[in-house]
Structure 1
Amino acid sequence: MKKDNLYVIIYNDNLFSKMFIYKERTDTMRMSSEIKNENKSAFYKKSVIFSYLFLLIIAAIVILYLYKDSIEDTNMFVTKQAEVVEAGIPKSIIMNLIYDSNNFDIFNNNEYLELKNNLSSLLNINNDIKCFYLIDLKNAKTYPLVNSEHNYSEKSFSGEDIYTSLNEDDLLENDFNKTVLTKKYTNKNGDWINVLIPIHDTKNNEVIASLKVVYPIKIWNYKIFIRVIHTTIFFIATILIILAFHILYIKSTTIKIEKRKLEDITAQLKKNETMLWTVFDQAPIGVAVLQNFDYYSDINITFEKITGRSKEELNGMKWMTITHPDDLQISLEKFNNLKKNNNGVYSLNKRYIKPDGTAVWVNVTIAPLHFENNDEVTYHMCLVENIDDRVQKEYALSESKRSKDVILANLPGMAYRCKHDKDWTMQFVSEGCLSLTGFKPESFINNKELAYNDIIVTEYRESIWQAIELLPTKKTYNFEYEIITKSNERKWVLEIGQGIFNDKDELIALEGIVIDNHEQKLREKQIMFMLDHDYLTGLFNRKYYEEAIKKLDKNKNLPLTMVITDINGVRLINDAFGYSRGDKLIKETANLLQSCCRSGDVLARLGGDEFGFILPNTDNEKADKFVNAIIKACAEYNKNKKNKLFEMNISIGYATKVSAYEDINDIMKSADDYMRNKKLLNRKSIHNEIISSIMATMYEKSEETEEHAKRLSRICKKIGDQLKLNQKNMSELELFAMLHDIGKVAIDDRILKKPGKFNDDEWIIMKSHPEIGYRIAKSASEIEPISEYILTHHERWDGKGYPRGLNGEEIPLLSRILAVADSFDAMTNDRIYRKAMSLEYAITEINKNSGSQFDPQVVEVFQEIIYDL
């Protein structure tokens, strides 16, 4: 590509300013020269125009003069011509025509005929004359002598003018005493003009007639035109010659001017080219020319520095080669679109790969280069600006902003900046405002919808303002107060911030963060509540109870009664049904006891299943009524319970301090002892009722029946007799047979009554019933001796049983006996999932599993007694 075909736009302030100053100076000089040339040219043009106007005026005057002169010459010529004709006419013929006008023989006179022939010859020679007439002034007749177009017979001479040449008015107007030209006139034959020549009487020289010579106007005008046209042509030719010389002079002058301009332009182009290539080489942005997908040889120094490659390396290299792979697709799309349209410009931020593998961010602008007489675009201008530092700074700024936004977005509240005024006029509010207050951030900006102060609970506003007013310079502040949210709920917030002071240490703004402190406040209240209250029942706890005793142990509260209550059978219920069922009983008992409280009474949970009352100003009689009210409330509660297992049973004891000299601790001990004595008295019957309830529930929930328990008891007793067991073991064996599956009371009904096989989860739950039964038995002293048997009744002789994997004689004997009896009874009776098996099959199965599942000695004894049942 030639350098003079390269056009570059460089965007740089300093360089552009220098170029502009240089251009301005040259433009100013050029404009001054052009103004002078224009002034000269304008003066010259005016001079030429005036010269031509003057020449035209002179020509017009000459032509006008010539025209008038031609008219006079023509008039003189035709007049002389007519006079010559008149002189040649014999006067005798005229005299005869006039004085003997009725004699038509004269027309046959030789002399007349000769005259006519002469006139005819004259007409043939001179085509200017149309005809001749003789006007008889005496007789007022007109005689046609000869016409160039017609011949007339004698009858035509009747004194009428067939050409209607003159009427009476014309005769009166014309002076026939001298030669005259008549006015132009028109008849049916055309436009005419006449020459009248007087004819005198030879005797007395009197004018007796007039010769009328008729000329066509067109001939007349033609003669005048011929004379004028020659002069006009001369003047036109002269003007044209002058104009031609003038044009030649102008062209010559123009050529000289254009030559000088061309020389100036050539010199200016050289300067511009020098300036252009200086700018090109020193431009602070990279400039290169692309030939389709290749770099061309026109590449400046900055482009080489940006890409890290020399002009020689870049020449012929495809620009895709140095484009970062992540930016290649968008670069190709934009470039192909530009090539397709052959118009427009596109800019793109992308990365170039340097030879060392590092990437540099650049802004690339691509524009097509259009050349004259070539519609196809194969070259493109490529402007490249190094924006790596800017991108890195923008990235750092973006990351900083992102981090700030993340921090602000994840703050447990809202960040703000507000004016120092009572409205807390917000200037900035973070997005956390919405979740904190229910209002959008823009609602508070410049108090658009409401001021932040409007949502602060009224009781806090003044105290906060006073604290802000007294805020020391550059000190932080924090306040806890409540706000009213958009949903009209009160919410605790914690505000932490710092004042913004001007140079005069005047507080002008506040910046800080308002944090949602509501949950923490609630937790604090909850903690405070939990310090004095029981977490399960919501009643006061032992700590508060003891503090309340100290506060109420005053003379004014005497008599002061202490009431201690205890729920019977909670441990048994916990072991049988889990702690959730026991907790439910404790909470229901707490609610019942609280419903019995009077105003001023204190009720607390002292621990586990024990509660305590402090009854100020209550004597024994009132205390007795109070206790009876509790017992009555329990009875009412139990009426609604279908299962005795879940009835409420409470042991109550109380004691009253009536004298200030009595120790309150002794009163408390007396009440506790009273309650425990009553609990011991009722323990056996209560436990028996609970166990009976558990058994009834178990029989109801599972396929185990009371008959099954009795059958097992009978089989176990027979085996025990054969094994010579003592009376204690026989009693325990009988009770064990009845209660061995007591743990199933806590198993879900859907598992117990499932007709098919258990899945893994269900089997794990089912295998837990020995441990549940063990805990139930351990909680009741009456059946505690058989707890170990209940725990191990699913152990196997070979150690593959559960829950502890015991083997051989590690398993208690009573558990080994029950294992054989239970298996036999299970096989010989119907189950949900199968029918009963035959006696022989059951005995065979037991014998088969002797030494693996069962104790061989027990199996041997079982075979001896089985047929005696």
Structure 2
Amino acid sequence: MMTPSFYADIVHASPNAFVYFELIKDVNGDVIDGIYEDINPAYECLVGMKKENLVGKKVSELIEPKVLKTLNWLKVGGKIAENLGHEKIDYYSEVTQQFYQVQIFSFEKGHIALSYTDSTTEVLQTYVVQEDLKQTENQLSLILDSTEEAICGIDLKGQCTFLNLSCMELLGIKEESEMVGKQIFDHFTRKISSQEETTVEEEILKKLKKKQKSHSDQAYFRRIDGTIFPVEYFVKPKISKGTLLGGILTFFDNTQRKEKQAEIDHLMYHDSLTGLVNHIKFEKLKSVYDTEKYLPLSIIMGDINGLRRINQHYGHNQGDQLLKTVAKVLSENSPENAHVARYGEDEFSIIMPNTDSMQVFWHVKRIQSAIEKYNRLIDKNQAPINLALGYKTKYNLNFDLQNVINNAQDYMDKQKMLNQDSMRNALLTSIKTTLLARSQFTEEHAERLVTLSKKVGEVMKLSSYQMDELALLAELHDLGKIGIDDAILNKPGKLTDEEMAEMKKHSFIGYQIVKSIQGLDDIALPILHHHERSDGSGYPDGLTREDIPLSSRIISVVDAYDAMTQDRPYRKAMSQEKAIAEIKRNSGTQFDSEIVAFFLQSLEESSKE
């Protein structure tokens, strides 16, 4: 005969919801409420509440009748309980958004049970609740064989003790003897690929021996003929009088659910236009790759300049085609282990595990070369690709990955600022125009400073990020002069002490202007300190040597050299030899001696070209 504990084990192991109530009646004998006596894990999922928060509580205390109609069903169950009968009711759950067939039945007076069965599936509870708890194993077998769920018993060694017809069908066997007494776990795997295959035996038996439940929807099952399909399984320990005898394993073919989930995941995590992963997936990838195993970890950020203008001029179809082309270029020129994402409307991001700064620099160059080639081949009716790129590499796990992304975006913003076709460049152009109109600062002077400072940067082997910062500083270091009175700014003679004090404010004014402008904020401090001197006698803070920003020290030398070698209203230009001698004379006091050495080397190399 089947013991009650074995019967309860099967009910609790099933993924179909089951709940048992003690009925509460009024003085007239009518059912008015019920007390939760027992529920299985599937019922916890159905109502979204834990067993410990339900058992012993009244239905009216916990759930509104309109939600699960439980109180109405209890009243129906009151009549059924008198005759130990059963009744079926169709039901739609707002919690799971799924249709169920609810069976209300009683096998003990004063008590009823509810079984929630998927409306498309015959389940174990449909029949179990109608049978006497003392029925024989043969009677129970008829019930087990009526469900589409595969059910089998296992001992502590993983050997099969019994199985139902659904289990036999999924196994592809015709007789119980082909499986009973044999290892059921020989048919379970973690991976589809045989090279990476691992059984789930250790995981299940380890928990089983600790009297713990097991569940997974990430396993696969191998039939007798060798074919493999995904399964979701549940294992519950079988315990009798405190002694662990084995377990009850239920599982079902998860192919359709996997296919639907894969389709949902693709829609959820991919951009429908480009096919790339989207921002949501990129955030998940950050968590996956932000570990020691994938260091160095590089990030590339890209932004299409003027996409809105392209949509307006060429049409949205052309803009969409451009986005697809950019996605293709980025994918084809990124390493195989990289993930390219559409980060925003006109933004892209690439995460590159195990990629150092030199490697990511090489990939950026490949991308830029591919874009140049594309732009050369298109006709005049097609929009060219204008993509600003920024990148950064994480070497230390303690460095926040979001800061790496922010740095890459800052670098990208600088690229947009330097790009003639970007919207940010319009702001930069406006600022430069105002500066040229208000002071003796000329466009030729700015161009010379950019050229001179870049040559110094090349000798110093500065990064492309530092070179871009240096170019911006060369153009904007005197930006604050737009806030100085014209009489002082354009005075031909020597300034008085008061006028000089006013003039010195221009570095702070420039600092204030750029620090709040995205793409320029990194040159705020270099602008503030470009008049500091190596010996500490400069302004505004009297900084010395390495305390002065590197780009400020470079601009200080090249600006002085250019000023000495160009005509001024109040003096003639010096010769290059005299200017170099003056730079050398002030090395270590006004100028950083190391920067002077690099500057002189850059002049020497330029003279050989």
Give the structure-2-normalised TM-score. 0.33
- TM-score, with length taken from structure 1: 0.24
Task: Return the index of the structure with the highest Cα Rg.
Answer: 1
Higher helix share: 1
More contact order relative to length (CA 8 Å, sep ≥ 6): 2
